[in-house]
């Protein structure tokens, strides 16, 4: 029987010490969470992947929970984030590994596949597809298109501004954000008002989404009570810098085997079309990702690995068997 006992470790893979949740033995699988999450977002995947015969590690990324949170905003750029992953792979045997990322973790995963394909068996990206090369940074594009309107990414750019809202009540912040991304909510019924000024504006249901327990909410809330939201927000504050830093790779293809997964009600994609293989963002992706397969989780929203863990695990394990067989 595979050893699925979960351990918590502290590792310094680069220039910041991270807390790591780890389990199992076998080929290495790295799980990278998104915003605003922690390694806890992989609570349903860690035992399942370990049970299947893999060594799985899920870091609390820099700036989150009890992992180190450097003061300089530039210490959260894409080079630092991917260096953390490379250092973890070296620490846990040197690879090659399969890297799986959700939300911002998917963005790190895409970049890592471009920078260090030598350390990979394959990648899986959830919710955020590969972004094709663009002539101006996302920040400049949003400024040009949004005008005086509200966009959360622009709202996140000013240090200290979004923190005043998100840090005020981490329990309420996490409850609202997890509801807003859930496939159980009708986003067309959320009235944020014409004069939206904050990320948490809008009416949401009382209580919790059906896939989230009070214990789950407590785990997230306690983590952000310790760390605050600045670390995660600093990832957004490097978007323009990342665009500048990664120009040499912008036309390079993703060459490793890839799985892209999304919920059919994921707001990242559903806002611009039906979430299936014909979605316009996925059509762009196929031009730059050489070997990609798609998996759509029916009824799941943005938090697909938490909302529909059995379906998510099945797709991940099938992919892992192809790119990193255990025997």
Question: For the packed helices 78-91 and 104-115, what is the interaxial angle rounded to 10 degrees?
Answer: 70
Give the C-alpha separation, 258 to 113, whole Å: 9
In-domain check, residue 33: yes
Q: Are residues 223 and 265 in the same domain?
A: no
| Sign of the C-alpha dihedral computed for residues 73, 79, 83 and 86 taken in this order | positive
Q: What number of other Cβ atoms are within 10 A of residue 194's Cβ? A: 7
Length of the chain: 327
Judgement on whether residues 10 and 40 belong to the same structural domain of the protein: yes
- The CATH number of whichever domain residue 66 belongs to comes to 3.40.50.1820
**pLDDT attached to residue 33:** 98
Is there a contact between 130 and 111 (Cβ–Cβ < 8 Å)?
no
Do 131 and 152 share a domain, yes or no? no
Q: Find the radius of gyration of the CA atoms of the chain.
A: 19
| Predicted local distance difference test score (pLDDT) of residue 134 | 82
For residue 96, cis peptide bond before it (omega within 30 degrees of 0): yes
Q: Residue 47 and residue 316: Cα distance in Å, rounded?
A: 13
Confirm whether 1 is domain-assigned.
no
End residue of a domain, out of 236, 269, 304: 236
Positions in the chain whose pLDDT score sits under 70: 1, 189-194
Residue keyed to tokens 């501004």 = 161
What CA–CA distances, in Å, run from 169 to 200, 209, 316? 11, 19, 35
**Helix spans in 148-251 (H):** 152-155, 161-166, 170-180, 214-227, 230-236, 239-245
Domain boundary, last residue among 236, 259, 283: 236
Read off φ and ψ for residue 276, nearest 5 degrees: -155, -175
Ramachandran region of residue 160, left (φ > 0), alpha (ψ -120 to 50) or beta?
left
Question: Which residues lie across from 27 on neighbouring strands?
Answer: none
In this structure, the answer to whether residues 129 and 255 fall within a common structural domain is yes
Peptide bond connecting 36 to the previous residue in cis, omega within 30 degrees of 0: yes
Shared-domain flag, residues 155 and 230:
yes
| Same domain, residue pair 196 and 318 | no
On whether both 28 and 92 belong to a single domain, the answer is yes
Same domain for 57 and 15, yes or no, is: yes
| Residues carrying an active site annotation | 103, 302
Question: pLDDT (tens digit, 9 = 90+) per residue, 296-318?
Answer: 999 999 999 999 999 999 999 99
Task: Assign 28 to helix, strand or coil.
Answer: strand
Q: Does 22 reside within a domain?
A: yes
Rounded to whole angstroms, the Cα distance separating 76 from 60 reads 14
Asked if the structure places residue 144 within a domain, the reply is yes
Q: Helix, strand or coil for residue 133? A: coil
Q: Which of 236, 268, 301 is the last residue of a domain?
A: 236
Structural domain contains residue 241: no
Domain around 318: 6-135+247-323
What's the pTM value of the predicted model, to 2 decimals?
A: 0.96
- Whether 266 and 275 have beta carbons less than 8 Å apart is answered as yes
One domain, residues 24 and 107:
yes
State the CB neighbour count (10 A cutoff) for residue 288. 19
Q: Is residue 168 part of a domain?
A: yes
d(CA 99, CA 113): 9
Q: Is 81 part of a structural domain of the chain? A: yes
Contact (CB, 8 A) for 220 and 40: yes
Beta partners for residue 124, in sequence order: 100, 259
Task: Give the separation between CA 206 and CA 239, rounded to whole angstroms.
Answer: 34
Does residue 122 share a domain with residue 177?
no
Tokens representing 70? 């450097």
DSSP assignment letter at 246: T
Give the list of residues 6+ apart from residue 22 with CB closer than 8 angstroms, or none: 6, 7, 8, 9, 55, 56, 57, 58, 92
Structural domains of the chain, count = 2
pLDDT at 148 (0 to 100): 79
Does residue 173 sit in the same domain as residue 303?
no
Whether residue 88 is found in the same domain as residue 160: no
The answer to the question of residue 163 being in a domain is: yes
Q: What is the rounded CA–CA span in Å between residue 82 and residue 113?
A: 9
């Amino acid at each position: 029987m595979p050893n699925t006992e979960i351990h918590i470790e502290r590792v310094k893979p680069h220039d910041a010490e991270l807390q790591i949740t780890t389990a199992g033995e076998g080929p290495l699988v790295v799980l990278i969470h998104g915003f605003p999450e922690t390694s806890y977002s992989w609570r349903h995947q860690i035992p399942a992947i370990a049970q299947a015969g893999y060594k799985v590690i899920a870091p609390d990324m820099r700036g989150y929970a009890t992992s180190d949170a450097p003061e300089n905003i530039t210490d959260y750029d894409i080079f630092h984030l991917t260096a953390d992953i490379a250092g973890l792979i070296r620490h846990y045997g040197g690879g090659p590994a399969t890297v799986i990322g959700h939300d911002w973790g998917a963005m790190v995963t895409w970049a890592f596949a471009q920078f260090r394909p030598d350390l990979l068996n394959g990648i899986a990206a959830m919710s955020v597809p590969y972004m094709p090369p663009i002539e101006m940074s996302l920040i400049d594009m949003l400024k040009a298109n949004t005008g005086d309107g509200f966009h959360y990414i622009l709202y996140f750019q000013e240090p200290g501004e979004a923190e005043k809202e998100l840090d005020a009540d981490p329990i309420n912040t996490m409850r609202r954000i997890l509801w807003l991304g859930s496939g159980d909510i009708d986003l067309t019924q959320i009235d944020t008002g014409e004069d939206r000024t904050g990320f948490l504006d809008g009416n949401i249901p009382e209580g919790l989404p059906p896939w989230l327990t009070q214990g789950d909410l407590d785990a997230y809330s306690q983590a952000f009570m310790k760390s605050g939201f600045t670390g995660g927000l600093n990832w957004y504050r490097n978007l323009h810098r990342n665009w500048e830093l990664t120009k040499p790779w912008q036309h390079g293809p993703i060459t490793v085997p890839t799985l892209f997964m999304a919920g059919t009600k994921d707001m990242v994609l559903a806002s611009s079309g039906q979430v299936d293989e014909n979605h316009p963002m996925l059509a762009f992706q196929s031009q730059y990702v050489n070997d990609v397969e798609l998996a759509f989780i029916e009824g799941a929203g943005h938090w697909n690995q938490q909302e529909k863990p059995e379906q998510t695990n099945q797709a991940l394990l099938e992919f892992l068997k192809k790119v990193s067989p255990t025997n």
